[in-house]
Amino acid sequence: MKKILKIVWLLFISFFLISCIQTQAIENIGIINAAGVDGAESETESNLIETTMAVFQFTTEAEENTKTVSGKGTTIKGAVKDAEMSSIYKLVPGKIKLMLFGEVIAEKGFLPFMDTLARDPRVPDLMYIGVAHPNAKEILMIEEENISTDVGQFLHGIIEHHSNDHNIPRKTLQDFLHVYYDIGHDNILPIFEIVNDVPKHSKNALFQGDKVVGELSQEEITLVNMVERTVKDQLLELSIPMGPFAESTEYKENGQQVDEFEVGLNVIKSTSKTKLKDINNLEFTTDIKIQLRLVEQTAEVAFKSQKSIKLLEKEVKKNLENHLDKLLKKTQELEADPFGYGRHYRKTRQGKDLTNDEWREKFPDINVKYNLDIILVRHGAID
């Protein structure tokens, strides 16, 4: 009985502590769904930033639950505070799904913002990040009628459904910071822009550290993914010269002769392995094993014999190797290493730790030999 009295007494006292806990009742907060950060474009207010947020707020009267608010300040926190002035509820960051950074900030380097976000325990580390062209406000302010859902959901969906597993361009805050602090490895983030009044993931930004230095196309992203990690269920579009397949063609296209034909290939699975062959001459080899499925072709080439299949495999291999070499050249010119060759170098090298600056100097000089192993698994039924 004494024990029970003690517990009752304890409970009674603890009732006085109730008001110490801050409530966040779902109907009394504005839940930020997507946020964007833009830098000021004019020189006079260069340290000013503007945040735009798509916010869920629930009221009985309103038909739409999403509202977009924006505010200005010198820090993100300050800008959010400013934005709260036009919102009836307190804005909370716990369910941000996506954060966009305007191009101005991306070119200046956005690590300061990232770092504060990562340190704030209320901000989810698993939110996706992207770059907005030309600025985030324009994308987040898009009319809901154009996309028939709220913008946060929309952009999140684009990233989620167009990159399998955790391949680029699906980059969370955590992923970004991981790659950023990984010496000899550079980030790629998706770029969103408005095309025909609808936000579109058109291309990708290649980073050097936390600054954008160049752009990569979707096809190039696929190649980066294939070098860096395992890729599954991904479309490849290639142009194949007609010449070798002339005899396999079933009939000529209205008498018109074409030099090239397009093939759509589905990467069933591709795995890669990179090795540093010669540390002094910076020679790398990358073995990629790709299983392919033919899903589309523009010429009526009949793949009836093993010979023609082998021929296609050979052409695909040639084509891909060509593309990979070009991509490497391009990144070497930009001095950004999205493949992470620097990691292999760092792993193998003895002695002093590698620094990012050191690798930036060395990266343009590396040689990579690509050994592609192409297997055309299926070429018949197309779904």
Contacts with other proteins, residue ranges (CB under 8 A): 1, 4, 14-15, 18, 21, 23-27, 29, 31, 56, 58-60, 65, 92, 94-95, 97, 122, 124, 153
Q: Where are the beta strands (DSSP E) in 45-162?
A: 49-56, 66-73, 90-92, 98-102, 128-133
Four-residue CA torsion sign, 303, 304, 309, 312: negative
Contact of 187 with 101, CB cutoff 8 Å? no
Using alpha carbons, list the distances in angstroms from residue 287 to 107, 224, 227, 228, 231.
34, 13, 8, 11, 14
For other proteins, the closer of residues 97 and 133 by Cβ is 97
Report, in Å, the least distance between residue 18 CB and other proteins: 5
Q: Helix %, strand %, coil % for the chain, to 5?
A: 35, 35, 30
For other proteins, the closer of residues 124 and 264 by Cβ is 124
Phi, psi of 344 (to 5 degrees): -65, -35
Report, in Å, the least distance between residue 27 CB and other proteins: 4
Report, in Å, the least distance between residue 308 CB and other proteins: 48
Report, in Å, the least distance between residue 92 CB and other proteins: 7
For other proteins, the closer of residues 96 and 327 by Cβ is 96
Say how far residue 349 (Cα) sits from the centre of its chain. 30
Structure-token pair, residue 192 = 């969103």
For other proteins, the closer of residues 7 and 279 by Cβ is 7
For other proteins, the closer of residues 14 and 280 by Cβ is 14
Report, in Å, the least distance between residue 15 CB and other proteins: 7
Q: What is the distance between the terminal CA atoms of the chain, rounded to a whole angstrom?
A: 73
For other proteins, the closer of residues 18 and 381 by Cβ is 18
Q: How far apart (Å, rounded) are the C-alpha atoms in residues 36 and 136?
A: 5
Report, in Å, the least distance between residue 76 CB and other proteins: 19
Which helix (H) or strand (E) is 26 found in, with range? none
Q: Where are the beta strands (DSSP E) in 301-361?
A: none
